[in-house]
């Protein structure tokens, strides 16, 4: 995300693109993240170019970052992103898999 934000904005820590990341340990033993953010005034082309630049900068394979727009299927996105979050009998849940960008980058808001 740091490389993506650097590619998208010059001064990324001053004009931070806030996001929520949800860690998921899928069917394999590898972890991946669902990252939700507001597109703001960025165009689809600007976001895709930032992904391409981040992949090049970090030497990542092209499938590492994938951008999908949320339009009318918000309920489906919520259930997909939270499917591994378990709620316990005492109304507590395993929130360790939810990461806020301010916490990840130690940004005070």
| Alpha carbon distance 19, 91 (integer Å) | 25
Of residues 108 and 62, the one with the higher pLDDT is 62
Q: Residue 22 — left, alpha, or beta (φ > 0 → left; ψ -120 to 50 → alpha)?
A: beta
Count CA atoms within 13 Å of residue 15 on its CB side. Answer: 9
pLDDT at res. 91:
78
| Paired tokens of 98 | 């939810």
pLDDT at res. 11:
65
pLDDT at res. 46:
93
pTM for the model: 0.77
- The answer to whether the CB of 35 falls within 8 A of the CB of 77 is no
3-state DSSP assignment of residue 63 = coil
Of residues 63 and 72, the one with the higher pLDDT is 63
What confidence tens digit (pLDDT) does each residue in 1-57 have? 888 888 888 766 577 888 999 888 877 778 888 888 888 889 999 999 999 999 999
Question: What is the chain's Cα-based Rg?
Answer: 15
* pLDDT bucket at 109, cuts 50 / 70 / 90: low
């Amino acid at each position: 995300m740091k490389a993506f934000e650097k590619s998208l904005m010059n001064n990324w820590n001053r004009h931070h693109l806030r996001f929520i990341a949800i860690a998921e340990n899928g069917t394999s033993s590898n972890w991946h993240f669902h990252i939700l953010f507001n597109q703001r005034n960025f165009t689809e082309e600007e976001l895709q170019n930032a992904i391409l630049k981040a992949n090049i900068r970090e030497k990542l394979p092209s499938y590492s970052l994938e951008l999908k727009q949320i339009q009318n299927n918000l309920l489906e996105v919520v259930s997909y992103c939270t499917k591994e979050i378990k709620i316990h009998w005492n109304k507590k849940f395993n929130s360790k898999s939810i990461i806020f960008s301010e916490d990840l980058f130690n940004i005070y808001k």
